[in-house]
Amino acid sequence: MELSNDMLLTSTNYFQWKSRMEDILRSKGLYRLTLGMEAAPTDADKLAKWENRNDSARGLIGLSVSPDLQFHLQGIHAPDDAWQKLNTVFGIKNEIRAHQLENELLTLDPNTFSCMEDFITKFKTLRVLLASCKVTKADDGLIYAILATLD
């Protein structure tokens, strides 16, 4: 299964990515493995199938993470460990995460987007993510930030 770029985990879309990945993993019968809810069977034939399913789940998770974030999964082979690691890194809503989002918001460059609509969408997404961290940005400050980036 090939994953499109809109499904890749980035530093700002964890909660959207997680919801989408849950659906993908469920559709393939792999979600329970990702949660660590299926213990390894003792029967050799069943164990081989279980290990292949584990590999499939871990592979899907890894393929859905953007290349610049792959280092978070380095050395992690079990899908439940990979799932938990990504939740630990990206699923938190604390002060550090708020600073990361605020920095990304204020350094967005419209020249890196294919169109202004994509830039504005990303800007709005970052604002919503900041709000989920209980950081509110005033409209006038945001308007100034957008205008300052325009050439």
CA distances, 16 to each of 74, 90, 97, 102 (Å) = 23, 11, 16, 19
Q: Which residues of 56-82 are buried (b: 16+ CB within 10 A; e: fewer)?
A: bbbebbeebbeeeeeeebeebeebbbb
Provide the mean pLDDT of the chain.
Answer: 86
Where does the pLDDT of residue 64 fall: very low under 50, low under 70, confident under 90, or very high at 90 and above?
A: very high
Q: How many whole angstroms separate alpha carbon 91 and alpha carbon 15?
A: 7
Q: Which residue has the higher pLDDT, 143 or 56?
A: 56
* Chain center to CA of 141: 28
Whether pLDDT at 147 is above 90:
no
Q: How many whole angstroms separate alpha carbon 147 and alpha carbon 151?
A: 9
Q: Per mean pLDDT, which range of 62-66, 128-132, 146-150 is the poorest?
A: 146-150
Q: How many whole angstroms separate alpha carbon 109 and alpha carbon 112?
A: 6
Q: Per mean pLDDT, which range of 61-65, 117-121, 123-127, 137-141 is the poorest?
A: 137-141
Tokens of 149: 């980036």
Find the mean pLDDT for residues 78-104: 86
Whether pLDDT at 6 is above 60:
no
